[in-house]
Amino acid sequence: MDKELLTQEVLRLKAERQAVILAHSYQLPEVQEVADFVGDSLGLAREAERTPAKVIVFAGVHFMAETAAILNPDKTVLLPDLEAGCSLADSLRPEDVLAWKAAHPEGIVVAYVNTRAEVKALADVCVTSANAVEVVARLPQDRPILFVPDMFLGAHVARVTGRRLHLFPGECHVHAGIREEHLKALLETHPGAEFLIHPECGCGSGCLYLKPDAKMLSTEGMVRYARRAEAREFVVATEVGILHRLAKEAPGKTFVPVKPDAVCEYMKRITLEKVYLSLKEMRYAVGVPEEVAGRARRALEAMVAVG
């Protein structure tokens, strides 16, 4: 089936199933085009919570579908490919959090949304890259804080808030691969461009040293900034799937990836054909046991309420 016919069938089945398609900004362009909403983890979580649709097709990775299932226990949440995982989420085990909590009984656990449901259930609050700074800044000053699992995002939050955080040494393999040398090369070839850098990137503070006026932004922050900025050219340090959305929402502007091969193979497992099959066959349903979901829901609802 060609792309045009697949698109028509997806839209037909979506109406027939009374479904909504939520897609992350790193998804393939053709998947983004059939989605009802395209956004970052925070925006997608909010849309999942408020949608009246009976079926949610989640074009993203497994922890995102889990999040939607936790927030919508009475709805069917479908993930078109169960192998669409996350190297960052897989870097942290519940046992790691439990060990820290045992050593710090008064501690607060802040879990990045890129975590498994079992970890969210142990957290006091969940955050996304869009609201992590705001959430951490509000936490009590006299209690130790564990930030899991992304050490680069955690270091960014600590730098901006001035808070001392215990950081788990986890990383996204795609963002960790974006290094200072990649940024430096683009500084020379695009001297007039604005630089947009995701806080998960491995270059971290080194990027800000090389380019002090670079903007550390979540994926949604990049889109908002690009829309309103007067600049016409932007160098973008994150997974390259966002380039489609940036070009669509900020037409007439140029977006250059810091690392053209910064591709998440897990995100790209979701194809238009798999979205079609997911709707046609109602596959694959993602659920979370209520004893886990109930505890994780508190941390997620606190995340959705901020920012």
DSSP β-bridge partners for residue 216: 197
**Is there a binding annotation on residue 199?**
yes
**Is there a binding annotation on residue 290?**
no
**Is there a binding annotation on residue 254?**
no
**Is there a binding annotation on residue 41?**
yes
CB atoms within 10 A of CB 171: 20
User: CA-CA distances (angstroms) from residue 18 to 54, 56, 75, 171, 303?
Assistant: 6, 9, 11, 37, 27
**Is there a binding annotation on residue 207?**
no
**Is there a binding annotation on residue 198?**
yes
Tokens of 258: 């810091």
**Is there a binding annotation on residue 172?**
yes
DSSP of 214-236: -EE--HHHHHHHHHH-S-SEEEE
Tokens of 4: 């045009």
Dist. CA 171–CA 250, nearest whole Å: 30
Dist. CA 109–CA 100, nearest whole Å: 9
**Is there a binding annotation on residue 223?**
no
**Is there a binding annotation on residue 263?**
no
Dist. CA 147–CA 70, nearest whole Å: 21
- Residues making up the annotated binding site for iminosuccinate are 24, 41, 112-114, 129, 198-200, 219
Annotated binding site for [4Fe-4S] cluster: 86, 172, 264
Binding site: what residues are annotated? 24, 41, 86, 112-114, 129, 172, 198-200, 219, 264
